[in-house]
Chain A
């Protein structure tokens, strides 16, 4: 069994480490359906980790049995291996353990660190800012600063922060659009979608795909929040209002980098503005469903390879 399974998982892992994320990051359909694309990215991340660790584990445990569950059981119960154990089996086992621990450890560490930073920011904001009018579900704070800035701090009691510069430079409808955008982040827990990609970019600095995946997910989350914000905005032309707000904030004091500096967003802001001003057709239902089915298949294939005993 095992050589074929390990090989198949290895090929899948290689595909998910480079060509697949590269293709998805380059594709143009995600901006037409950010939600489906976000599901695909989560599936790529999960399936990638599963297949690389699975491939190493399957190879490492090959001498102990004919399928992974069986071999795992024999290994755990310390039964003697059926076949001689070579050095490469030990190496594969060790690598699988190290990789699994690193990926999970970094995820936990990153989560804890982010939570700590958020707690610090929240404490600071609650002390420094006089509480504004208590709004319905989310507390909104007005930070006294000239740069037009808006952000949210997710958590049990989410916090929405606007700077005074934002309120001064934007008109009322535009501020509403910004608030709706930030509320969409909070309502859909976008920080959780981004967390694994922040963690794995830190864990796998040698993997360009990790960087690419993080940037793509970060940009998609913004587009998704734009889309959700539009559904709750009224007014003559909410698309244009939101686009104008984005441009105003991008051009405001503090938003700009000096000439020649590499823009951190790499054109993502322009993509957002373009898709608001000249919206492309939304992805047809068939397209959306095939994207979602691909995501599901990405998760099912490595799972099946791991659990279903080898066919050959």
Chain B
């Protein structure tokens, strides 16, 4: 499967694993089994750059590196999901919003009190 999305993910994972700047030719060689042309690699890199996941330096040939680790991107997303980001217009509706500790205790008591069948499966 060589859809653009798959390639983007594969290239990004390679850059994450590499840990440092990598020229496009090396990426092409790394994905030799997929038979990628160098132009395709550049297309994928450009798309990743537009999305803000990859940056390149000014050396010749250009070297590409990942901006931020996978964990950093996940943390940033979770920051928004948990509503700690400044934008309260959250585009995300969570299953359960933030709750105070007092309320959590009260909720647990509520659940326990109603439990005639206390055996948790």
A residues sitting closer than 8 Å to B (CB atoms) are 110, 113-114, 117-118, 121, 123-128, 130, 143-145, 147, 149-153, 163, 171, 173, 178, 181-182, 185, 190-191, 194, 198, 202, 218, 221, 237, 240, 243-244, 246-247, 249-251, 254-265, 267-270, 273-274, 277-278
B residues sitting closer than 8 Å to A (CB atoms) are 5, 8-9, 12, 48, 51, 53, 70, 73-78, 80-83, 87, 89, 91-104, 106-108, 110-111, 114-115, 117, 120-121
Inter-chain CB contacts under 8 Å: number: 151
- Interface pair A127/B8, CB less than 8 Å apart: yes
Distance (Å) between the CB of B2 and the closest chain A CB? Answer: 15
Given contacts A181-B95, A270-B106, 7 further A-B contacts (CB under 8 A): A114-B91, A124-B73, A127-B9, A127-B12, A150-B94, A178-B95, A264-B97
Set of chain A residues within 8 Å of B115, measured between Cβ atoms? 240
With A and B bound together, what is the CA distance between A253 and B8 in angstroms?
32
- Interface pair A258/B101, CB less than 8 Å apart: yes
* Chain A, interface SS category: helix
- Interface pair A255/B98, CB less than 8 Å apart: yes
Distance (Å) between the CB of B68 and the closest chain A CB? Answer: 10
Set of chain B residues within 8 Å of A121, measured between Cβ atoms? 77, 80, 91-92
Which of B53, B74, B96 contacts A250 (CB under 8 A)? B96
- Interface pair B111/A244, CB less than 8 Å apart: yes
With A and B bound together, what is the CA distance between A305 and B60 in angstroms?
72
- Interface pair A149/B82, CB less than 8 Å apart: yes
Distance (Å) between the CB of B23 and the closest chain A CB? Answer: 21
- Interface pair B92/A151, CB less than 8 Å apart: yes
